[in-house]
Structure 1
Amino acid sequence: MPGTITVGLDGTEHALAAADWAAQEAVRRGTDLRLVHAWVWHPTDTAYVGDRASEERTLRTMLSEAESRVAEAHPALDVSTELLVDDPVPALVAEAARAGMLVLGSRGYGTLAGYLIGSVSLHVLRMTERPVVMVRGTGQDATVRQPAGDVVVGVQDADEAGGAVIDFAFAAASERGTSLRAVYAWSIPTVLLWSPGSMWLAEQEGGLEPLHRQILADALSPWREKYPEVDVVEHVEAGTAAEVLLSHSDRAGLLVVGRRTHDTGLRRLGPVTHAALHHARCAVAVVPHA
């Protein structure tokens, strides 16, 4: 996965955790790291200590400090910074289009505030056609979590359309030298979807679970051939996709999920991706696919 890794900074500890994660990823891949902050000065009528120039200096200092932090940890890494004079969402979407990967910080939430993800990140995730990695900066340090643990991928679309998600996960596991855990959740079909004859054929094959295991195996087969060095663990379980997938995130180094791009009018992330972004304890890569 060639290309510069770009980090969107906003001055928070979560964004610094994202920069740390991205720096390690850039070193691993042998790519450059770009740190950016999008900003438009909005003067107000209220009393304000400072002006446009002082605010710009503050932001440039923030970028410089983040650059120094990364350079100290990775002296050989090529790091650049830029203050983008634009609104955050279009600026980050444009940056993502030019980068191999966009990395953003994520607060991560519990059940009560589970759907209060930052509006900028949410809009960027919905609009970009490139992979975006969300890195949590709370709890166990994201820079510690990154190297440890397998890459976990949620296989929802076990067909050609979901290939971009699976390919990203295999490539990430190959880069890290770790195994890949492919998780596929299934549910008992309703009588409206399965005829009595179909159910009888499934029972003749030993039940429904072997059929779903074969679906997952078939979906992974091309990528096993492309990445023979990656050790793959296939996990098939009955249950809701979000619950099954999240049950594997605690021991993951990276969780990979997909986002369909064909429904451009709604720009939905989907319930599984939403759940992963808000509740997974590791970094989450969201990969757009058809």
Structure 2
Amino acid sequence: MDAGPARRRLALGARLGAGGARRTRGAGGGRLLEGPGTAAPERAAGPHASRGPAVTDQGRPRRVLLPVGGVEDHHAGVAFAAQEAVRRGCDIDVLHVAHPAGREDGSGVLDMAETVVERTVEAARRSLGRARPAVRGRLARGDVVPALVEDSRQVALVVLTRRHARGAVVLSTMTVANALGAHAHAPVAVVPPRWSPGTTTAPILVGIGGRHAESRHVLRAGLEQARRCGARAELVHGWWYSDAYDDLVLSGPTGRAETARRRARLAAELAPVLADFRDIDVRLRVEHGRPARLLLEATERAQLVVLGRHQPLLPFGSELGPLTRAVISGAACPALIVGSPAPAAGP
């Protein structure tokens, strides 16, 4: 009998500790997978386990959450998670969520999941090199998106690797990236599959929309990221009314006047936030054009694009919106989705 899977389970179990969802033996010899409600361990075994977990000012663990599926092509996400863990002073949690309907009667699905988690943990440690963040691996059972949304309450960042190449036709909007981007309690980074880190002087892009509170919230998140990276920031606002109208009416002096009006309005609205980041070189770029196209073209020369959610105008509307969905599915650089600002307290 091949003892390889058993050895892998034993080795991974040493790293998993009691966190997330631990594989154990039931009374009848069957394999059990605990649910996602179990508390995460404070330490994982391995070369980065010498210090306590990073915490926020409120005392909560600070972690970068790196969800992995049943395939091993997570290299871009691993590299980005390692980079951000160092910048933010966070540890890394590698998490695989197994669907409740999954079989455990020798099908090998969980053995494969364990292997993916184990190899991703090792890849993250290699990517970190001598850096201090710890890396842990966990398995959980549950519906994938709700489990990840719940786990995102206690993390600083969620990192996903985009599953399709840039320019691929994606018919469904019901992807894990879209669902987490819309509902996670922490910012969500979506990393293109061929992205790799490197020394760059490229800017941090910030997509600026038309809603005041949301624009200021996204701007602050983008400038905080620029400060972490030591980069300049480029704020991009595109405006477009109608395909049947803009090219004819707004392509000349009328369009230039509207662009100037919008630039002046945005400069005034964003000034209070910009005043808190005088150390950051900021450029405001306002253009007449389709916003998604402008942002996608700009990602060719950026190291990151920061986007926001929006409050839907209709009860059944999307919290991401077509612009954010288009950019996260086609950006040449990682896209960071930040949540909507908290509603103002009533009197």
TM-score range, shorter chain: 0.7 to 0.9
Structure 2 unmatched runs, 5+: 1-54, 57-61, 243-252, 342-347
The answer on 1:288 being equivalent to 2:342 is no
Q: TM-score, normalised by structure 2?
A: 0.70
The answer on 1:57 being equivalent to 2:107 is no
Residue identity opposite 2:223 in structure 1: F
1:161-172 alignment to 2 at 5 Å? 161-172=214-225
The answer on 1:153 being equivalent to 2:209 is no
Residue identity opposite 2:339 in structure 1: P
Q: 2:275 aligns with which of 222, 225, 237?
A: 225
CA distance in structure 2 between the aligned counterparts of 1:79 and 1:211, rounded to whole angstroms: 49
Match of 1:28 in 2: 87
Q: Is the 8 A contact 1:89 1:120 kept in 2?
A: yes
Match of 1:276 in 2: 327
1:11-160 alignment to 2 at 5 Å? 11-12=70-71, 14-40=73-99, 42=101, 51=106, 54-74=108-128, 75=130, 76-111=132-167, 113-116=169-172, 119-138=175-194, 142-144=195-197, 149-160=202-213
Q: Percent identity?
A: 24
Match of 2:309 in 1: 259
Q: TM-score, normalised by structure 1?
A: 0.82
Q: Which runs of 4+ in 1 moved over 6 A?
A: none
Q: Is the 8 A contact 2:159 2:188 kept in 1?
A: yes
How many residue pairs match? The answer is 271
The answer on 1:250 being equivalent to 2:304 is no
RMSD: 3.0
CA distance in structure 2 between the aligned counterparts of 1:283 and 1:145, rounded to whole angstroms: 13
Residue identity opposite 2:301 in structure 1: R
CA displacement at 1:215 relative to structure 2: 1.9
Structure 1 unmatched runs, 5+: 190-201
SS in 2 for 1:174: helix
Q: Which has the larger radius of gyration?
A: 2
The higher relative CO (CA closer than 8 Å, separation ≥ 6) is in 1
Provide Cα deviations, 1:139-167, integer angstroms capped at 9, x if missing partner: xxx23268552110110135123322111
Residue identity opposite 1:59 in structure 2: A
